[in-house]
Structures are given as C-alpha cells and as structure tokens.
Amino acid sequence: MNIDNQNLWLYSFLSRFSRLKGYKSKIMLIAFLGTHVPLLTLLIYFLVSNSYSFEMTVRVLVIALVATLVGTGITLYALHNLLAPVVVTYLALRAYLSKKRLPKLPTHFTDEVGTLMADTVKTITKLDEVIEHLTNYDDLTGLPNRVLFTDRLQQALSRSQDQTRLLAVICLHLNNFREINNALGSSAGEQLLRGVAQRLRASVDRSDLICRLSSDEFVIALPDLTASEDVVPFCQLLLERLLLPIFLQGHEVHIEPSVGIAVYPFDGDSVEQLLQNANTAIDEAKRRAPNNYQFYGADMNVQLQERLGLENQLRHALERNELQLHYQPQVDTNSGEIIGVEALVRWQNPELGAVSPVKFIPIAEANGLIIPIGEWVLRTACTQTRLWQDAGLPPLRIGVNLSARQLAQPNLVERISQILAETELDVAYLELEVTESLIMENVQHSINVLQQLHDMGITLALDDFGTGYSSLSYLRRFPIDILKIDRSFVRDVVVNSEDAAVTNAIITLAKSLGLHITAEGVETQEQFEYMKSHECNKIQGYYFSRPITAPAMGELLKKNQNMHLVERCA
Ligand code: C2E
Ligand code: CA
Ligand code: CA
C-alpha cells in the first residue's frame, strides 16, 4: 500500500477553513455540495435555454429541489453513521491518553475502518503492557522494581495490620558480586543476577513480593507469619539454594549472600523503616559470618538463637533419654501422711545443662512435642506409682500436669485409658492437673473432655488457681475435684493481708462448691500452720520436700510409712 501524503491535499485545503473544524463536517460539506450538482446543472440549463415555458421550468425546478433535499438528507444521515467507526476510534484513543482507559471497540470487521478499530485495540493493549512493564519491572531480571514492590508491600502491610499477622522483610546482598563482575565481565554479571532472580522466584509463592532494589541487592517480603521464627526455615532454604554454584561462561561461580531480616510490627511499621532495618541487619550478618542471616535487633537474635538451639535439642530429648521425672510429695494436713505426689518433668541436656520446664514446656507446646513428651510423663508416672504400690508402700495418688495441646488432642481419653491399662494402675490413683487458662481456650470442648475423664474415675485438679481469669460462673461447670491455690498467694499469706484475703476467699469458694484444696509452694512452718488452720486438705511445698528423684521419693515414702506405723502403734 502506498501512503502518499499528497492524497491529503483536499483534507489540508478544507482544514484551512476554521469553520470546518470537525472531520465529519468536512465530509458533510463535500457530500452536500456533491448532491446539489444535478440541481445546479438543471438551473443553469434552464437559464441558458428558452425552449421551456416559465411554468414548466418552475415545476421541474421545484421537483428537482425537493428530490435533492431529500437525497441530501438521506446521504448525510447515512454518512454520519458510516463515519461512526472513525469517531469512536478517535474517542477511544483520547480516553486512553487522558484516562489510561483501554479501548473497547469491535474487532470483527475486516474492511479498512474495521481493521483500524481492531488494530487500535490490539496496539493500545500491547502498548499498555509494555509501558506497565517498563514502569514496574526490572529490565534485567524481570522482577518487580522498587515502585511496584513498594506498592505491593504497602498493601501487604495494611492486610497484616488488619489480621494482626507478622510480616518479614528479607534483604539479600551478594557480597562478591562486584568481584565476579570485574573478573568475568558485565554480561556474566547480568547472567548471574538473572540466575539469582530465578532462584528467588522459585523460593516464594508470590513473585510480586520480590524485588531487585539495586544492582546486587534483592528484597523479599513474607506476609502472614504467626511468629518471627517462622522466617528461619525460609532463610535457611534460601541460603542453601543460593550457595549452590552457578555456571557462567564455563566458570563455576559461588556467590556469597548475606541476609538481613526486619519483622513488622517489631522492627517498624512502614515500608521505609522495614527496608532500612533489614539493611542494617545485613551489615550485622556480614560482620558475623559469611553466608548468614541476621535479624534486626540484637536482643531478639540472642533470644531467638537460644530458643532455636533449645528446640533442636528438645526434638531428640526423648529418644536420647534426657528426660526424667521428679516427684514432690503432697501431705495430708491433719495426719501428716504423704497421700499424693506430683510428677514434674526434668530435662538434662549435655550441651545446655539442666533446662527448667518453665522454659521448655511452652516450646514443646508450640511445636507439638508436648504430645509425645506428655505421654511419656504419664506412662512413666503411672509405672512408678504402680512400682511403689508393688513394693508395699501405702498407695498414693500421682498428679500429672496436662497441657493445652494435650487437652485439644482428639484421642486423649483413649490414650489415657490405654496407658492406665498398660501400666496396670487403678484409675483411682491418677490425678490430672489442668490450668484455668487452658480450659478457657475452648471452654465447651474442655468441659466435654474433662467430663469424660472424670466419668472414668480420674481425679481432676485446677492448677495455679487464682492466677488466670476464668470467671467464677464457669468454675461451677468444670467437673473438677480439687483447687490448687497458686504459690504466689501462699508465699505472702502470713505477711500480706491482701494475699491472705484472696487465699481465704479461695478456700471459702472451694468449700461452697464442695471441692478439696491443695496449697502449693508452702515453704515455712507459719505458712503450713496457716493453711492447716484454714482447713486446707493437702499441702505441697519445700517445707516438706523439694521435687526429688524416684529412688529418693521411695525412701521418703518408706520413712513416712514407718513414722506413721510407729505413731499408730504408740
Ligand atoms: P506447676 O505445675 O505449678 O508445678 C509446681 C512448681 O512449683 C514446680 O516447678 C515445683 O518445683 C515448684 N515448687 C514446688 N514447691 C515449691 C515451693 O515450696 N516453693 C517454690 N518456690 N516452688 C515450689 P517446676 O518443677 O519448675 O515446674 C514448673 C512448671 O512446669 C509446672 O508448674 C508446670 O506448669 C510445668 N511442668 C512441669 N512438669 C510438667 C509436665 O510433666 N507436663 C506439663 N505439661 N507441664 C509440666
Ligand atoms: Ca502442677
Ligand atoms: Ca501449680
């Protein structure tokens, strides 16, 4: 097709007339003039020839005028409609330019103007994609650039805020990029960056939350985290992947990545702050060791590392026989006899030493290890109790602590009956201790499970009573037998009148509900006397004994038995 600008002469000519601004009006004018040519010809013909009468001339001219006007009207109307494709294409282009609205035009017509409409749609759509890519993506790696990433991160942050979730911003720096670039040239450097981008993309679900920030700096955002340490396995995997060699122009290249992590909301609540802090963490990571990740904020690192170390070791604690049970006697206030013991787990690790249950039980709770640990505790405690009974010691009840995760376990009741059967311990000798906060996590479920345990004949004790915030109205619905007064009240019961008031209130409440009372943490004679005078049934605390090993407990039980035998004989 020959595009000849000279074809535009008429168009250019008509454009000179300021009154003919629109394209449509130019065409209309020409059509108007064209349709009037026969009429004018007729008029001129009548003027030069005298062969027709005046009347005849007028009649013919009037008919011709009417016919011309009708013809012109129809022609102009048809043209007006036929020009519509040109006009809508024009409007669609204007709409894209001014409002970035993509054109919606018919694409199935095949003549020139039909193709004009179809091609306009195609070209603008493509153009829009190219512009979008140029403004939002990094040319070299195809990853989102800072503009798009910032925008998406902002959105993710607002969502995290709504759902009270954590979000980690993970910055990555390739320490030796410059050296590689200098040694192998910039095209190898570019290939390296593309390779890294590919590995990053393979590590995340959402590719819009990765970005190349600057030449050898990348950043990833991980939304929807429940704990800061959730990010650790991700970073470990990421580093593992990045440490695999990359082959560039026949050379095997090893990159040295450093990773810095900032977590919303702890380390900032804006995009800038999180990026800045993740970068600070990178500097720290570089200082410490190569190929390493680092959280922002030193305290958190220390705590987290400690917790991670603990968690790793705890995974092997059972199989390596590092757990042990200690037993603490519970003494009848009136007779002074040991009528029960509480089993308390101990962990002795070769690297960490003795770790308090206060430290490791919550971790076992969080990662689910409490289930096997809890079963081991129950089995060991029941076996031991049975052994004492078999040795002829007076039967006593064994108290075992139950954790939240265990209570939520679907087959808890069956597991407990199974363990009782295996260890041949009569159900009457088992006491399970639960805390208020544990029951309150899912009240109805807890009540159902506790009811089943109670129906089996297991004694139930509410541990640490007074420290939680269960409403007293619930207390009535819990199928429990014993309230254990928390040691924080017992500690100052003889010196602090408020603690005494709370303790008295708990005792009165327990009595009115027909519950037994165990006071824990009794350390002194005064505390013991106080509890005794307030009709507390059972006492547990250092006053009688610290938690001790099974053989030591066996000895204590024998001594206690002999003492009472002597008393009874006397
Ligand atoms: P708890 O159930 O309230 O256990 C009583 C804690 O008070 C024990 O600490 C015990 O050593 C301590 N204690 C006893 N008498 C006295 C006293 O007179 N004075 C003072 N200051 N403390 C006394 P421990 O053994 O460190 O256990 C701490 C917590 O760890 C337990 O609190 C319990 O919540 C948890 N725990 C221990 N063993 C287990 C277990 O086998 N399973 C579960 N789920 N939790 C356990
Ligand atoms: Ca307890
Ligand atoms: Ca307790």
Q: What is the pLDDT of residues 89-126, one digit of tens each?
A: 999 999 999 999 999 999 999 999 999 999 999 999 99
pLDDT value at residue 57: 87
User: In this structure, what token pair is assigned to residue 23?
Assistant: 């394209």
Considering only residues 271 and 436, tell me which one the structure prediction assigns the higher pLDDT. 271
Looking at the fold, whether 197 and 56 belong to one and the same domain comes out as: no
Helices (H), 16-83: 23-48, 54-82
- Any atom of ligand 1 within 6 Å of the Cβ of 463: yes
Confirm whether 333 is domain-assigned: yes
Flag whether pLDDT at 2 surpasses 60: no
Residues 144, 139: Cα–Cα separation, whole Å = 9
Count: domains in the chain:
3
- List the CATH number of the domain containing 400: 3.20.20.450
Residue burial 485-519, b: 16+ Cβ < 10 Å; e: rest: bbbebbbebbeeeebbebbeebbebbeeeebbbbb
Looking at the fold, whether 124 and 155 belong to one and the same domain comes out as: no
Burial of residue 97 (number of CB atoms within 10 Å: 0-12, 13-18, 19+): exposed
Q: Report the pLDDT averaged over residues 518-533.
A: 95
| Residues less than 5 Å from ion ligand 3, measured at CB | 463-464
Flag whether pLDDT at 384 surpasses 90: yes
pLDDT value at residue 301: 64
pLDDT value at residue 56: 87
Question: Is the Cβ–Cβ distance between 300 and 228 less than 8 Å?
Answer: yes
Looking at the fold, whether 118 and 152 belong to one and the same domain comes out as: no
Q: Write the pLDDT tens digit of every residue in 528-539.
A: 999 999 989 999
Mean pLDDT of the chain: 90
CA atoms within 13 A on the CB side of 44: 6
Residue whose CA lies nearest to ligand 1 atom number 12: 521
- List the CATH number of the domain containing 265: 3.30.70.270
The pLDDT confidence band at residue 466, using thresholds 50, 70 and 90, is confident
pLDDT value at residue 469: 61
Mutate to test the pocket of ligand 1, among 367, 369, 401 (most ligand atoms within 8 A of CB): 401
- Long-range contact set of residues 72-79: C-beta below 8 Å, sequence gap at least 24: 72/31, 72/32, 72/35, 72/36, 75/31, 75/35, 76/28, 76/31, 76/32, 79/27, 79/28, 79/31
Lowest mean pLDDT of 130-134, 299-303, 457-461, 507-511, name the range. Answer: 299-303
Confirm whether 395 is domain-assigned: yes
Looking at the fold, whether 386 and 533 belong to one and the same domain comes out as: yes
Looking at the fold, whether 387 and 534 belong to one and the same domain comes out as: yes
Residues 475, 563: Cα–Cα separation, whole Å = 38
Question: Is the Cβ–Cβ distance between 462 and 485 less than 8 Å?
Answer: no
Rounded to 10 degrees, what is the CA torsion of 164, 166, 167, 169? 140
pLDDT value at residue 226: 85
Length of the chain: 570
pLDDT value at residue 477: 84
Flag whether pLDDT at 298 surpasses 70: no
Question: Is the Cβ–Cβ distance between 177 and 192 less than 8 Å?
Answer: yes
- Any atom of ligand 1 within 6 Å of the Cβ of 377: yes
Q: Report the pLDDT averaged over residues 276-296.
A: 87
Phi, psi of 43 (to 5 degrees): -60, -45
Confirm whether 306 is domain-assigned: no
Q: Give the CA distances from residue 55 to residues 43, 46, 58, 59, 60, in Å, rounded to whole numbers and listed in that order.
A: 14, 12, 5, 6, 9
Considering only residues 566 and 369, tell me which one the structure prediction assigns the higher pLDDT. 369
313 CA to middle of ligand 3, Å? 26
Question: Is the Cβ–Cβ distance between 212 and 170 less than 8 Å?
Answer: no
Looking at the fold, whether 14 and 129 belong to one and the same domain comes out as: yes
Instruction: Identify the domain boundary among 133, 166, 196.
Output: 133
Residues 436, 539: Cα–Cα separation, whole Å = 20
Its pTM stands at: 0.59
pLDDT value at residue 6: 67
Helices (H), 369-457: 370-390, 404-408, 412-423, 436-441, 443-456
- Any atom of ligand 1 within 6 Å of the Cβ of 436: no
Domain, as residue range, for 329: 322-569
Q: Write the pLDDT tens digit of every residue in 135-181.
A: 899 999 999 999 999 999 999 999 988 877 899 999 999 999 998 99
Looking at the fold, whether 372 and 271 belong to one and the same domain comes out as: no
368 CA to middle of ligand 1, Å? 20
Phi, psi of 324 (to 5 degrees): -145, 155
Q: Which helix (H) or strand (E) holds 491?
A: helix 487-491
Q: Name every residue whose Cβ is closer than 8 Å to that of residue 278 and which is 6 or more positions away in sequence.
A: 169, 170, 171, 219, 260, 261, 262, 267, 296
User: What is the SS3 assignment for 32?
Assistant: helix
Question: Is the Cβ–Cβ distance between 416 and 458 less than 8 Å?
Answer: yes
- Any atom of ligand 1 within 6 Å of the Cβ of 404: no
224 CA to middle of ligand 2, Å? 35
Q: Report the pLDDT averaged over residues 336-349.
A: 97
- Any atom of ligand 1 within 6 Å of the Cβ of 466: no
Residues 302, 186: Cα–Cα separation, whole Å = 40
Q: Which amino acid is at 69?
A: L
- Any atom of ligand 1 within 6 Å of the Cβ of 487: yes
Q: Write the pLDDT tens digit of every residue in 57-70.
A: 889 889 999 999 99
524 CA to middle of ligand 1, Å? 18
pLDDT value at residue 3: 55
343 CA to middle of ligand 2, Å? 8
Q: Write the pLDDT tens digit of every residue in 189-237.
A: 999 999 999 999 999 887 779 999 988 999 999 998 888 888 999 999 9
14 CA to middle of ligand 1, Å? 100
Q: What percent of the chain has pLDDT over 90?
A: 65
Confirm whether 140 is domain-assigned: no
Rounded (to 5) percent helix, strand, coil in the chain: 60, 15, 25
pLDDT value at residue 548: 98
Looking at the fold, whether 116 and 185 belong to one and the same domain comes out as: no
Looking at the fold, whether 156 and 128 belong to one and the same domain comes out as: no
Looking at the fold, whether 497 and 525 belong to one and the same domain comes out as: yes
Confirm whether 180 is domain-assigned: yes
Confirm whether 470 is domain-assigned: yes
- Any atom of ligand 1 within 6 Å of the Cβ of 144: no
Considering only residues 308 and 235, tell me which one the structure prediction assigns the higher pLDDT. 235
Confirm whether 310 is domain-assigned: no
pLDDT value at residue 4: 61
Looking at the fold, whether 95 and 186 belong to one and the same domain comes out as: no
Residues 203, 221: Cα–Cα separation, whole Å = 12
Confirm whether 139 is domain-assigned: no
- Long-range contact set of residues 115-118: C-beta below 8 Å, sequence gap at least 24: 116/85, 116/86, 116/89, 117/85, 117/88, 117/89
Question: Is the Cβ–Cβ distance between 488 and 494 less than 8 Å?
Answer: no
Instruction: Identify the domain boundary among 133, 157, 179.
Output: 133
Instruction: Identify the domain boundary among 133, 163, 191.
Output: 133
pLDDT value at residue 91: 94
Q: Report the pLDDT averaged over residues 14-21.
A: 88
Looking at the fold, whether 75 and 186 belong to one and the same domain comes out as: no
Q: Are strands 292-295 and 323-332 parallel, antiparallel or unpaired?
A: unpaired
- Any atom of ligand 1 within 6 Å of the Cβ of 357: yes
Flag whether pLDDT at 349 surpasses 90: yes
Q: Across the chain, how many H-helices and E-strands are there? A: 22, 16
Closest CA to 514 of 471, 482, 474, 473: 482
Considering only residues 569 and 514, tell me which one the structure prediction assigns the higher pLDDT. 514
- Any atom of ligand 1 within 6 Å of the Cβ of 114: no
Lowest mean pLDDT of 30-34, 503-507, 563-567, name the range. Answer: 563-567
- Any atom of ligand 1 within 6 Å of the Cβ of 358: yes
User: In this structure, what token pair is assigned to residue 124?
Assistant: 């603008």
Q: What percent of the chain has pLDDT over 70?
A: 96
